[in-house]
Amino acid sequence: MSTETPLDPAFSADRACKNVPVNVFFPRSTDLVALDRARETCASCPVLRQCASWAGPLVENRLITEAVVAGVLTPALAGKRYAAARAAAVEELAAIAAGDVSVSDLGGAAWTAA
């Protein structure tokens, strides 16, 4: 069992988001067009699995919120359903990291649970 922490994908020269404005990945959760733009960028990324692997523990520990990372919208810290939304986001990231699903296969459970 490896205890290595995945490298932050921001250091990858191959990442699809390299020349995309960072605000694309911080859309309002109600702006479905902006959410789709972020997800489409992530879906085409050659380091998507690495990104999902890196982000999963950070989302689980509440260190990434209100952002699209590896095609998954991470929920805001507030709200009645935050715990469920965070768990759904962590689950989606784990599935992407494992190669079990692609961004386009996801139903956006974390988006609707927030």
CA-based nearest residue to 107, from 31, 49, 35, 41: 35
pLDDT digits (tens, 9 = 90+) for 24-49: 999 988 899 999 999 999 998 999 99
Q: Who wins on pLDDT, 96 or 107?
A: 96
Q: Which two tokens stand for residue 39?
A: 């997800």
**How many Cα atoms occupy the beta-carbon half-sphere of 92 within 13 Å?**
27
What's the average model confidence in pLDDT over 105-114? 50
pLDDT at 38: 94
Tell me the three state secondary structure of residue 17: coil
Supply the pTM of this predicted model. 0.82
pLDDT of residue 108: 52
